Amino acid sequence: MSPLGARIYALLITADQDVYTFDQIVKLTNASKSSVSNQLNDLLDRKKIVFENREDSRKRFFKTNQLYINDMLQAEHQDATKHIDILQELVYIKRDNRLAEILLEYYQHSRCNIEATLEKINQIQKQKNDE
């Protein structure tokens, strides 16, 4: 991801408001319209962001794609679980493998962190749905 693309994505993730228009993003990033347009299209292609149209406006309103974030974290959770399964077998077979034990601990902590993060995201989404 380019530096401008990363700035736009970070802006949308940490947004003070639910959505931003193209013009707002141009102003906040201090970048040219062409550069912002290219980066928004790249983020849209990667499915990291989505846009919505509103009935009373011709403008597009950009926001992060919550499904992308959830899918990415779910994939990382599955990856960590696979590593844990392999490393547990290795530790069981070769008991004095300190490196395998360290990696196993790392992936166990990673999986717990991912689970906690997913739970927090789900709580935020539930609160937004209740409003």
Domain ranges of the chain: 3-64, 66-130
pLDDT of the residue at 40? 95
**pLDDT greater than 90 at residue 117:** yes
Strand order in the sheet with 20-21: 20-21, 60-64, 49-53
CATH topology of domain 3-64: Arc Repressor Mutant, subunit A (1.10.10)
Whole-number percent of the chain with pLDDT over 90? 56
Of 14, 93, 110, 19, nearest to 63 (Cα)?
Answer: 19
pLDDT of the residue at 127? 80
Claim: this prediction has a pTM higher than 0.85? no
For 52-102, the pLDDT digits (tens) are 888 888 889 999 888 888 888 999 999 999 999 999 988 888 777 888 889
